[in-house]
Amino acid sequence: MAKGFKGKGAKGPGQMGMMQQLQKLQEQLEVAQAALADETVTATAGGGAVSVTVTGDQRCQEIKIDPNLIQEGDAEMLQDLIMTAFNSALEMSRNLAAERLGPLAGGLPF
């Protein structure tokens, strides 16, 4: 056996250091992802008549509708406003996640 050969599957000091770094990065990602679940973003549509709040892990937390909008009885307009606000809130949530997780992931998509 050649001197310095560690055998199949053996890990040198460089590999151990890399494994420790990967484990630390994984822990940091888990902490950041957990923190995202506690952060929220809110988007509005129709001049604030509809608002949608979404968490950083992209779960809808709240939808608010101005009661005057319901009294007007235009269901199609209300549906469009909810969809617009919800999609805006999701986009804001994705941007928040990219902002928080991006530095840890080195540009990997989430």
98 domain residue, yes or no? yes
Residue 74: give the domain boundaries.
34-102
Report the alpha-carbon distance of residue 28 to residue 26 in Å, rounded: 5
Q: Find out whether 78 and 69 touch, Cβ atoms under 8 Å.
A: yes
The token pair that represents 103 in the structure block: 């530095």
* Residue 3 lies inside a defined structural domain of this protein: no
Query: Is 6 among the domain residues?
Result: no
CATH code, 69: 3.30.1310.10
In a domain, 13, yes or no: no
Q: Which residues of the chain have pLDDT under 50?
A: 1, 5
**Greatest CA separation for the chain:** 86
pLDDT score at 1 = 47
What's residue 3's pLDDT? 53
| Collapsed DSSP state (helix, strand, coil) of residue 108 | coil
Structure confidence at residue 87 (pLDDT): 92
CB 50 within 8 A of CB 65: yes
pLDDT for 70 equals 82
Q: Is residue 73 part of a domain?
A: yes
Determine, yes or no, domain membership for 18. no
Whether 2 maps to a domain, the answer reads: no
Residue 15, in any domain of the structure? no
Q: What is the pTM of this model?
A: 0.62
Token pair 């888990």: residue: 30
What number of other Cβ atoms are within 10 A of residue 23's Cβ? 10
Q: How many domains does the chain have?
A: 1
